[in-house]
Chains A and B, each alone.
Chain A
Amino acid sequence: MKLTSELPTDAVDVIVVGSGAAGSIMAAKLAEGGKRVLILEAGPARDAGNLISSTLYARRLKWTGPPVIEGGKNPVGFVFNAGFGVGGAAMHHYAVWPRLHAEDFDMRTRHGKGLDWPIRYEDLAPYYDQVQEEAGISGDAQQEKWRPPGAPYPMPPVAVFAQGTVIARGFERLGKSVAPLPLAVTSTAYKGRAACIWDGWCDAGCPIGALANPLTVYLPRAIAAGADLIADTPVTKVLTSEDGSKAIGVEVIAQDGSRRTVRAGLVVLATFAIENPRLLLASATEKHPQGLGNSGGMVGRYVMTHAAGLVFGLFDEDTRPYMGAFGGQLVNQDSYPKTTHAKSGAFGSYQWMIAQAVKPNDLLGISTTRPDLYGAKLHDFMQRAARGFAGMTAVCEDLPLAENRVTLADEKDARGAPLAKVVHDTHPESIALWQASLSEGKKVFEAAGAKEVWSGGAGTMHIMGGTVMGKSAKDSVTNSYGQLHDIPNLVLAGPGLFPTSGGVNPTYTVHALAARSAEFLLKNWNSRQ
């Protein structure tokens, strides 16, 4: 993929800030719609050759930009969740792509908790269908009995190995069912991409194109349609017109270190859930003294993260836990209805990602599941677990709270820009949901015949909210297309738009929202101006 290094001196139609999941699809759709698109990426250039099969080298894909100051009882784990460089966090994402459910979109109306989205599932369903055909998802829509309406998956289900078979036995013995996990990973050759060989290196980035990351799907399309992509060029602020009604471009630090201005008719911020609000707040002007899009004081609020319900076991069988996809092999969404565990004081949805491929080391590796072990006992455990280990993860919904928010810190980065500070405390009903998932998961493993069963500590995965969509500036930052209520030609994309987190992985919904937004922007190009 060809990158450029020359910033344009004339105005472009669109600047897309960020080249991850949201930025890459926005850039592709807008460029294919005939717009002149410039993608600006703060981090380094990256290509498939950088995606080295090593848990150690994989750490280079994580965030290494200006630090984010984390606070609260349950920090969001920014560095682990974020990415840096071309492709963003999606370069190390696991491609678990289930859909949100209808009840995620009107939770406030149905249950009096959290927020409502300004759209319903039916509004997003056509874009889920569109994206799944373009990016490719492997799965079995019929077996996935919980799945909301939509087109069948374009590829057959992913492979199930011994670890998946063993855990499925536990679900079945408890009268529960499992289905193939919907993964944006090729189970067969697809649109010129090779089929996955199930080696479990998804987290290190997939260099063969089996996993639908930005380098594989939407960035090549964007470039082919004429978009320019410049790496190592951080945006420092969004520039607005004198009357404050329009975005007119961005200020960047060019590769030569100079501070430059690039002008555009439309600016799309796709820099993930923490940097998007940081940029809005850091772009304050006389007309927008509290930051852009912040007339209602909503920028930065409702940051969410999924609590990870981690359950593990050791079996007598050889589970071959290194085989498969990093995201897992099977899914169960029996606990998706939000009041399923109400008797335990819990509220919200969760799903199980079952039988994730594991490596010996790293934060999600075998060794870290038993942080209490050291010395000879750790060696012994590693030998036993390399053969008989199994694990699954609950993706537990996080109730949105206004006080969980991104603000500007007093501390500055090397260029004098204020750092982001993010505070996150998990709601007690969400903690109860996480505890309920652990309780259920242990029962499943016991029913499956595990010789040892244990659970992990409270971890977090995914970051959402912070610039939520809604119906007015009083209760949200953008409309359903990601346009700022206050500045319609400044558009946000990414999981920051989510008013609720649901109990599923966010990347598929990020793509569907961006596809919907891009279509709207193209159809209404002249009126937007």
Chain B
Amino acid sequence: LEALGEVLLPGSAAEGLAHFIDHQLSGPAANSMLMIKYLGMPAPFVDFYRSGLKAIDAAAMNRFKKNLTVLSADDASTLAGQMAAGEIPNWAGPPAALFYFVLRNDAVDVTYGTQAGFEKLNVPYMPHILPPSRWGE
């Protein structure tokens, strides 16, 4: 998960991508802060992530004969581009383009969707009510 997140948005692993997704998946769907809930997929969402990760691992092995975590930056980027276009042969998971979209946005959420993330962009947060924690943890 973190390896793919690093391809989609470098630094997202350190921002807590895996923790964010795990935390949201571990609680009731009603409290979920995952963008996937908008996108017509029924809860619980854990199978969406599991099968998507399995599919991208298999795609890395098929194309490069390597695990995703040891791909070169160029190869990983090529794979991400194919995911975005939904053009990975023999993909066996949720629609590849949807999985790309969701995981990319999860990475953006943890990197730029928090108060600290706004600061990275010099965007004033201007809260009425500050979140008690980054994402309900």
Report if A and B associate in a common complex.
yes
* B104 CB contacts on chain A under 8 angstroms: 371, 374, 378
Q: Is the CB of B37 within 8 A of A56?
A: no
Q: Is the CB of A64 within 8 A of B37?
A: yes
Measured between alpha carbons, how far is A58 from B135 in the docked complex, in Å? 11
Does A363 belong to the interface (CB within 8 Å)?
yes
- Interface residues in B52-102 by Cβ distance below 8 A to A read 77, 80, 84, 100-101
Residues of A in contact with B, size category:
35 or more
Does B8 belong to the interface (CB within 8 Å)?
yes
Supposing A53-B129, A360-B112, A360-B113 touch, asked if A378 and B33 sit within 8 A by C-beta, the answer is: no
Measured between alpha carbons, how far is A372 from B31 in the docked complex, in Å? 29
* B30 CB contacts on chain A under 8 angstroms: 44, 60, 64, 84
* A368 CB contacts on chain B under 8 angstroms: 105, 108
* B127 CB contacts on chain A under 8 angstroms: 53-54, 199, 201
Does A135 belong to the interface (CB within 8 Å)?
no
Q: Is the CB of B126 within 8 A of A386?
A: no
Does A80 belong to the interface (CB within 8 Å)?
yes
One of A56, A62, A77, A374 near B80 (C-beta < 8 A): A374
Does B1 belong to the interface (CB within 8 Å)?
no
Q: Is the CB of A56 within 8 A of B109?
A: yes
Does A362 belong to the interface (CB within 8 Å)?
yes
Q: Is the CB of A52 within 8 A of B131?
A: yes
Q: Is the CB of A77 within 8 A of B40?
A: yes
Closest-CB distance, A409 to chain B (whole angstroms) = 12
Q: Is the CB of B131 within 8 A of A361?
A: no
Q: Is the CB of B40 within 8 A of A60?
A: no
* B123 CB contacts on chain A under 8 angstroms: 322, 359-360, 386
One of B40, B43, B128 near A70 (C-beta < 8 A): B40
Closest-CB distance, B72 to chain A (whole angstroms) = 13
Closest-CB distance, B9 to chain A (whole angstroms) = 6
Chain A minimum-CB-distance residue to B121? A386
Does B46 belong to the interface (CB within 8 Å)?
no
Supposing A322-B123, A372-B84, A374-B9 touch, asked if A53 and B128 sit within 8 A by C-beta, the answer is: yes
Supposing A49-B129, A57-B33, A64-B29 touch, asked if A386 and B136 sit within 8 A by C-beta, the answer is: no
- Interface residues in A43-65 by Cβ distance below 8 A to B read 44, 49, 51-57, 59-60, 62, 64
Q: Is the CB of B131 within 8 A of A79?
A: no
Q: Is the CB of A62 within 8 A of B37?
A: yes
* A371 CB contacts on chain B under 8 angstroms: 84, 101, 104
Closest-CB distance, A459 to chain B (whole angstroms) = 11
Total A-B residue contacts, Cβ distance less than 8 Å: 139
Chain A interface mostly: loop
Measured between alpha carbons, how far is A387 from B121 in the docked complex, in Å? 9
Does B34 belong to the interface (CB within 8 Å)?
yes
* B121 CB contacts on chain A under 8 angstroms: 360, 382-383, 386
* B14 CB contacts on chain A under 8 angstroms: none
Q: Is the CB of B31 within 8 A of A363?
A: no
* B131 CB contacts on chain A under 8 angstroms: 52-54, 56-57
Q: Is the CB of B40 within 8 A of A360?
A: no
Q: Is the CB of A360 within 8 A of B37?
A: no
Q: Is the CB of B129 within 8 A of A207?
A: yes
Does A75 belong to the interface (CB within 8 Å)?
yes
* B132 CB contacts on chain A under 8 angstroms: 52
Does A367 belong to the interface (CB within 8 Å)?
yes
Q: Is the CB of A199 within 8 A of B128?
A: yes
Does A200 belong to the interface (CB within 8 Å)?
yes
Closest-CB distance, A325 to chain B (whole angstroms) = 13
Supposing A59-B33, A62-B37, A361-B108 touch, asked if A374 and B7 sit within 8 A by C-beta, the answer is: yes
* A56 CB contacts on chain B under 8 angstroms: 33, 109, 113-114, 131, 134-136
- Interface residues in A231-280 by Cβ distance below 8 A to B read none
- Residue in B38, B43, B84, B136 with the greatest tally of chain A CB atoms within 10 Å: B38
Measured between alpha carbons, how far is A367 from B102 in the docked complex, in Å? 12
Q: Is the CB of A207 within 8 A of B7?
A: no
Measured between alpha carbons, how far is A399 from B102 in the docked complex, in Å? 31
Measured between alpha carbons, how far is A322 from B127 in the docked complex, in Å? 12
- Residue in B77, B124, B128 with the greatest tally of chain A CB atoms within 10 Å: B128
Measured between alpha carbons, how far is A64 from B126 in the docked complex, in Å? 28
Measured between alpha carbons, how far is A56 from B38 in the docked complex, in Å? 12
Supposing A56-B135, A360-B108, A375-B8 touch, asked if A208 and B128 sit within 8 A by C-beta, the answer is: yes
* A191 CB contacts on chain B under 8 angstroms: none
Q: Is the CB of B126 within 8 A of A379?
A: no
* B31 CB contacts on chain A under 8 angstroms: 60
* B128 CB contacts on chain A under 8 angstroms: 51, 53, 199, 201, 206-208
B interface, CB within 8 angstroms of A: 7-11, 29-35, 37-40, 42-43, 77, 80, 84, 100-101, 104-105, 108-109, 112-114, 117-118, 121-132, 134-136
- Apart from A360-B118, A362-B113, A374-B8, 11 more pairs, CB < 8 Å: A54-B114, A56-B33, A56-B109, A64-B29, A206-B128, A362-B109, A363-B38, A365-B113, A367-B112, A378-B9, A387-B122
Name 15 interchain pairs, CB-CB below 8 A, sorted by A: A51-B129, A52-B130, A54-B131, A59-B32, A60-B31, A79-B37, A79-B39, A199-B127, A199-B128, A208-B128, A360-B112, A363-B38, A374-B77, A375-B10, A382-B112
A interface, CB within 8 angstroms of B: 44, 49, 51-57, 59-60, 62, 64, 67, 70, 75, 77-80, 84, 197, 199-201, 206-208, 322, 359-363, 365, 367-368, 371-372, 374-376, 378-379, 382-383, 386-387
